[in-house]
Structure 1
Amino acid sequence: MTFEESFYIGYITKTRGLKGELQLFFEFEDYLDLDFDVLFIEIDKKLVPFFVGSIKVQKNSTAYLNLDDVDHIDKAQPLLRKKVYLSNDKLPERDPEDFRYTDLIGFLVIDELEGELGDIIHVQELPQQFIATVNYGEKDLLFPLSEDFIVGIDRDEEIIVVNLPEGLVDIYKD
């Protein structure tokens, strides 16, 4: 399995108990729609397959899982903080009309006052709102993805037009 043939879902956060149970934290939005039979864990820049013996998916973006051949805490310890992937054929299908803030990654941000700011490189969900990170010169410019600031989104051209609060962009200028 190569990285191109797989997609990232999260990472192992901790062990639980002495029998090798692991906690997986999902960074993939639709984790409840995933099918888990084989996970690929990144070890030494390679994807190593592990068969899932059992998994209990929680509502808080986590799951508790037992992997075949990982039956003791000593075998589970080396997997901590490792990234977890699934093969591309396990990627759930989404309705084309189901557009999310995370789909804005790669979109060009144009502010009505400041002009082109750069491409969105990351979207982070915080309890109150989503935050976009734009590669702005030598710095990362952060702004809230709020309907108050978004003027329009062109999905075909991958452009988002915003009207950011006065002075926000000035904070990031040299």
Structure 2
Amino acid sequence: MKQEETFYIGYITKTKGLKGEVQLFFEYDAPDLLELDVVFAAINGKMVPFFVSSYKLQQNSTGNFYFDDIDHIDKAQALVKKKIYLPLAKMPDRSEDDFHYNDLKGFVVSDEVVGELGEVIEVNEYPQQFVATVLYKGIEIMFPLNEDMIIEIDEEAQTLLVDLPEGLLDIYLSN
């Protein structure tokens, strides 16, 4: 399986106990909707499958997992900080009205003051917020996606109108 055939759900944060249990931090916003019988870890550029023998989801966007053949802390330690993916075929269906910040990839961004900035080339989710990356004048600029910055999202025209903080673009352009 190639990474393009998968979607990112989170990463292994730590081991738990001595019997190979690991904790997975979910960056996917609805982990309870995921089918978690087999997950893929990105290891040395390859998607390595891990069959889930049991797991328990927690309230804080984490889950405790046991994988087949990972029966000792030493084996589990190798998975810490690895990104975890599921096949695209296992992505939960979303309703038409269900819009996520990740859907902004490919949208054209305009700032109220500066005008058109460019296309959103990436949307990353961090624990506190989503961050968009836009190629502006050949330089990648990043800004948070939140209610304070976003003025309007036009899904039909695939445009995003933002009000970036004064000086943010200068930070990127001054180098």
Q: TM-score range by the shorter chain?
A: 0.7 to 0.9
Structure 2 CA distance for partners of 1:37 and 1:99, relative to 1, 3 Å: same
Aligned match of 1:145: 146
CA contact (8 A) 2:109 2:117 kept: yes
Scaled by the length of structure 2, the TM-score of the pair is 0.84
Q: Secondary structure at the match of 1:89?
A: helix
Counterpart CA distance in 2 for 1:74 and 1:123 is 31
Aligned match of 1:93: 93
Structure 2 CA distance for partners of 1:153 and 1:84, relative to 1, 3 Å: same
Q: Please identify, of 104-113 and 90-99, the stretch whose mean Cα deviation from structure 2 is larger.
A: 104-113
Scaled by the length of structure 1, the TM-score of the pair is 0.84
Q: Secondary structure at the match of 1:18?
A: coil
Q: Residues 4-43 of structure 1: matches in 2 within 5 Å? A: 4-43=4-43
Q: Residues 120-159 of structure 1: matches in 2 within 5 Å? A: 120=120, 121-124=122-125, 127=128, 131-137=131-137, 138-146=139-147, 149-159=149-159
Gaps of 5+ in 1: none
**Residue type of the alignment partner of 1:49:** P
2:48 equivalent to 1:48: yes
Gaps of 5+ in 2: none
CA contact (8 A) 1:101 1:145 kept: no
Counterpart CA distance in 1 for 2:119 and 2:66 is 40
CA contact (8 A) 2:118 2:135 kept: yes
Structure 2 CA distance for partners of 1:114 and 1:81, relative to 1, 3 Å: same
CA contact (8 A) 1:105 1:123 kept: no
- Using the aligned pairs only, state the percent identity: 52
1:71 is displaced (CA, Å) by 0.6
Q: Please identify, of 135-144 and 107-116, the stretch whose mean Cα deviation from structure 2 is larger.
A: 135-144
Counterpart CA distance in 2 for 1:25 and 1:126 is 10
Aligned match of 1:84: 84
Structure 2 CA distance for partners of 1:131 and 1:89, relative to 1, 3 Å: closer
Q: Please identify, of 163-172 and 133-142, the stretch whose mean Cα deviation from structure 2 is larger.
A: 163-172
1:110-137 CA deviation, whole Å, 9 max, x = no partner? 123211112233254565x655443333
